């Protein structure tokens, strides 16, 4: 059974309306049915203690930040929420829908804005994020999937960042076509100055604004707008890999693990329509419902109306209905 809709749906999609791969510059997010996991015992887990300590520390300080929230000014809380939205879009509209899937085109100014927003989110640079994400789609739920959800909730949520990658993830990642990313000067510039950009944009800038503009205590600013906001956006993103691969309906393809999950849709700015997304990874909206419950789609639509984005790829209703009848679980709606 095809895990990815591209091959099966292509013929049914009116050529003038849709684009399933050609025109995006790459198709390495299409599920590879030929891959087989190696037989024999799995390689031993190698813990990355630096990441374990840093992640533990981040979450402990974040819990402490909860105690600080009531004493922060309202403007600071609002600012933290704005930073949450900006950094979220850097991942969802940027690293994910633009750079991993090429589901729309963005002009240079928008790519620069998205790269800045992406550094604010501090989830590895765009190049690395997109490479890991393409292998995730191409080898979903296998040894070559960086956050293989068959290894459990914790592993697919955060555990995969705390151990060395499975050798197949590295091997398959090296074979991907990443030429489009290498050719994008914005992506390569962000990669080159990534650490500096993270210090400035994920931590210093969000902390500076409330302290400078409305006299918030600097410590409060740092805990709320930098540390707490960062931890929330991290976990919201991770829920797409964990919860949205385990809980929810499968109206488009019952043979794959990714599911439609309302909680994740809400928390991850529209990224929880995950059964749809793995079935049609080239759709810029990651769902058939447009901008509803999909802040990221609303943002991309706005950018298009401002002339900063174009070439949104989407799937026609007929193809979606055919796919639902053919391989869906019969639930026919999200959640």
- Applying CB under 5 A, the residues found at the interface with Zn ion are 258
User: Which residue lies nearer to Zn ion by CB, 159 or 258?
Assistant: 258
Measure the CA–CA gap between 290 and 79, rounded to whole angstroms.
27
What is the widest separation between alpha-carbon atoms in the chain? 61
Least gap, CB of 136 to Zn ion (angstroms) = 6
Least gap, CB of 96 to Zn ion (angstroms) = 6
Cα dihedral 173/125/136/47 (nearest 10): 80
User: Which residue lies nearer to Zn ion by CB, 116 or 244?
Assistant: 244
User: Which residue lies nearer to Zn ion by CB, 6 or 72?
Assistant: 6
Q: Are 120 and 147 in contact (CB under 8 A)?
A: no
Least gap, CB of 100 to Zn ion (angstroms) = 6
User: Which residue lies nearer to Zn ion by CB, 173 or 258?
Assistant: 258
Stretch (H or E) spanning 55: helix 49-68
Least gap, CB of 189 to Zn ion (angstroms) = 23
User: Which residue lies nearer to Zn ion by CB, 5 or 258?
Assistant: 258
Placement of tokens 């991907």 in the chain: 176
Of all residues in this chain, which one has the CB nearest to Zn ion in the complex?
258
Least gap, CB of 145 to Zn ion (angstroms) = 8
Please, is 29 exposed, middle or buried when counting C-beta atoms within 10 Å of its C-beta (0-12, 13-18, 19+)? Answer: buried
Beta bridge partners of 47: 163
Placement of tokens 């739920």 in the chain: 141
């Amino acid at each position: 059974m095809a895990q990815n809709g591209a091959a099966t749906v292509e013929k049914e999609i009116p050529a003038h309306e849709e684009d399933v791969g050609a025109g995006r510059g790459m198709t390495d997010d299409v599920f590879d049915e030929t891959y087989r996991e190696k037989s024999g015992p799995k390689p031993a887990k190698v813990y990355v203690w630096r990441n374990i300590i840093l992640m533990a520390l981040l979450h402990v300080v974040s819990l402490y930040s909860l105690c600080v929230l009531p004493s922060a000014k309202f403007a600071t809380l609002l600012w933290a929420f704005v930073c949450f939205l900006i950094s979220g879009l850097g991942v969802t509209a940027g690293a994910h829908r633009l750079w991993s899937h090429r589901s729309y085109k963005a002009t240079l100014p928008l790519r620069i804005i998205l790269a800045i927003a992406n550094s604010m989110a501090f989830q590895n640079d765009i190049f690395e994020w997109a490479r890991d994400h393409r292998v995730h789609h191409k080898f979903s739920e296998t040894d070559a999937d960086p956050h293989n959800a068959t290894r459990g909730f914790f592993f697919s949520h955060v555990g995969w960042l705390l151990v060395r990658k499975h050798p197949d993830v590295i091997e398959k990642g090296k074979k991907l076509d990443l030429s489009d990313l290498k050719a994008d000067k914005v992506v390569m510039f962000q990669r080159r100055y990534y650490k500096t950009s993270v210090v400035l944009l994920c931590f210093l800038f969000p902390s500076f604004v409330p302290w400078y503009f409305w006299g918030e205590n600097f410590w409060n600013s740092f805990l709320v707008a930098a540390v707490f906001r960062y931890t929330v956006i991290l976990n919201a993103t991770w829920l797409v890999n964990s919860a949205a691969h385990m809980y929810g309906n499968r109206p488009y393809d019952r043979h794959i693990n990714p599911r439609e999950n309302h909680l994740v849709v809400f928390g991850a700015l529209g990224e929880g329509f995950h059964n749809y997304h793995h079935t049609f990874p080239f759709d810029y909206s990651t769902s058939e419902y447009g901008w509803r419950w999909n802040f990221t789609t609303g943002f991309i639509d706005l950018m298009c109306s401002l002339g900063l984005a174009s070439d949104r790829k989407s799937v026609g209703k007929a193809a979606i209905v055919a796919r639902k009848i053919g391989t869906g679980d019969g639930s026919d709606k999200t959640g």
